[in-house]
Structure 1
Amino acid sequence: MTFSSKFRQGVLILVFGLFTAGLLGQNRAAAEGTAASVPIEQVANYLYAMIEADREAYTRHVVERMQAKGVVVASENWEETNSLPLPAQLLMESGRIMGRKGTGIQYRLISLWPINKRNAASSEIEKLGLATVLTHPTKPYTGFVKEGGTRYFQAVYPDLAVTQACIGCHNAHPDSPKRDFKINDVMGGLVISIPVK
C-alpha cells in the first residue's frame, strides 16, 4: 500500500470516527440516565450541523490542502483512481455507513438536477422539500413519512454551493442537467430521516 493510499485510508477512518464518536456519546448519556428530552426537529438540526461541519472540515483541511500540496486529488472516480472522494461523495458514503449502524437514522444528498439519477428526490416530501428550500433556503422543510412500516421524521435542508470546487464540478460535468450554478445557490438538499414511535 502506497503512502497516499495509507494516508487516504487514515483520513477516511478519522472522519468517520469523529462522526460516530459524536453519536455514540449521546447513547452513553442515555444509558447513564442523564438523557434529556429533545424535540425531534432539534435532533435533526444537531445532526445537520454535525454532518455539515464534518463536510466542511474534510473539504478545507483534507481535500483542498492535499490538492494544493500535490499529494493526492479528489476525484469522482476515487475508488478506481486511488484518490480522495469528493466532499459530496464522502457525505453519501458516510450516510450509507450510518444506515448500516442499526440506529435507523439515514441521510443523503438529493437534487432537482442530480448528476447521478439515483440522487433525485424519491418521495413527495423530498420533492416538496427541494422546491421549498430552493425558494426559502434559511430553514429546513420537515414532515413525517412512513417507509416499510416505520414512521420517520424527515427534514430537507438546503445544500448550498459554498466553494468554487462544487460549482466547477457541477457546471462542467457532462451528466449535469444544470450548468449555471453560482456561489450560495441551492444545488439540492440534504435529507435526514429519523425513526419515531
Structure 2
Amino acid sequence: MTDSMLSTIEKIKLQEQEQEAKLKEKREYETNITSLQRSIRDTLTLKEKLHDEEKALNERILKLASQIEVEKIKNKAIKSEVESLKKELEGLKRDINNNISNVWEIRSSYCEAVKQTSDEYDVWALLIKPVCTEPIVRNNTPEKEIFSNEGRLQTAIERREKALAERNRLLAEPDAGSEFVRIKNALRYLDEKVASLRN
C-alpha cells in the first residue's frame, strides 16, 4: 500500500470516529431533550395539581373565615345572654333576700304577738268558767259537766305548750327553717345554672 492510500484510510477512520462521536453526542442531546420534555410535562402536571390544591385551600380558608365570623356572633350572643341572666339572677337574689327578711319580720311579729298574748292574759282564767259571786242555793252540777271542763282544760294546756314550743322554734336560728333551706337550695341551683352557661 502506498502512503496516499494509508493516509486516505486514516482520514476515513477519523471521519468515521467523528461521525460516531457526533452520533453519540446527538443521541445524548436527544436523550437530554426527552428527559427535559418529560420533566417539563411533570412540572406542568404538578403545577396544575398545586393550582387546584391552592384553589381548594383558598375556598376552605374562606369557608373557615365565615365559620369564625358566625362563631364570633354566636359567642357575642351567648355572652350577652349570660350577662342578662346574671342581672336577672342578681335581681332574683335581691328579691329573695327581701322576701326572706319580710318572712322573718312577719314571723317575729307573730312570735311577739303570741308572747305578748301569753304574757298579758291568764290562759287558765280564760278557759275556766267564771265563778258566780252570788251565793248558790244548791249545788247540783252534774259530774258529766265537771269531766267535760277538765277535758277542755287539758286540751287548753296542750295547746298552750304547743304554742310555746312553736314560738321557741320560730325564735331559733333561721338557718334551720325549712323555707330558708328551700330558698338556699334554689339559689345554689341558679348559681350552678349560670356557671354552666358561662362554660
Q: TM-score, normalised by structure 2?
A: 0.26
Report which of the two has the higher share of strand. 1
Report which of the two has the higher share of helix. 2
Task: Determine which structure has greater relative contact order: mean sequence separation of CA pairs < 8 Å that are 6+ residues apart, divided by chain length.
Answer: 2
Whose radius of gyration is greater, 1 or 2?
2
Q: TM-score, normalised by structure 1?
A: 0.26
